[in-house]
Structure 1
């Protein structure tokens, strides 16, 4: 499966994860904040996530 060298990902539960390496197969992803003001990495999420 082709992957995007610019998007590292280790979420193997995602449909878009490259099976052979820790990369995403999407051309781009959508990152969103999950709180009113993002101050830490925990305040953000990959909105492009799709469960397998």
Structure 2
């Protein structure tokens, strides 16, 4: 489960960086950033429930 969260975080981070680097793709940076935060929160809650 942790591996899945880490992979998703990496994918969303790459999308956000590409959105910032490539002009005109600001929407990609916003979506990538939102998905990164959502995945991080979801992973945090999943990990917290295990303890």
User: Common fold, TM-score beyond 0.5?
Assistant: no
In terms of fraction of residues, the more strand-rich structure is 1
TM-score (norm 2): 0.23
TM-score using structure 1 length:
0.23
Compare the two structures and name the one with the higher helix fraction.
Answer: 2
* Structure (1 or 2) with the larger CA radius of gyration: 2
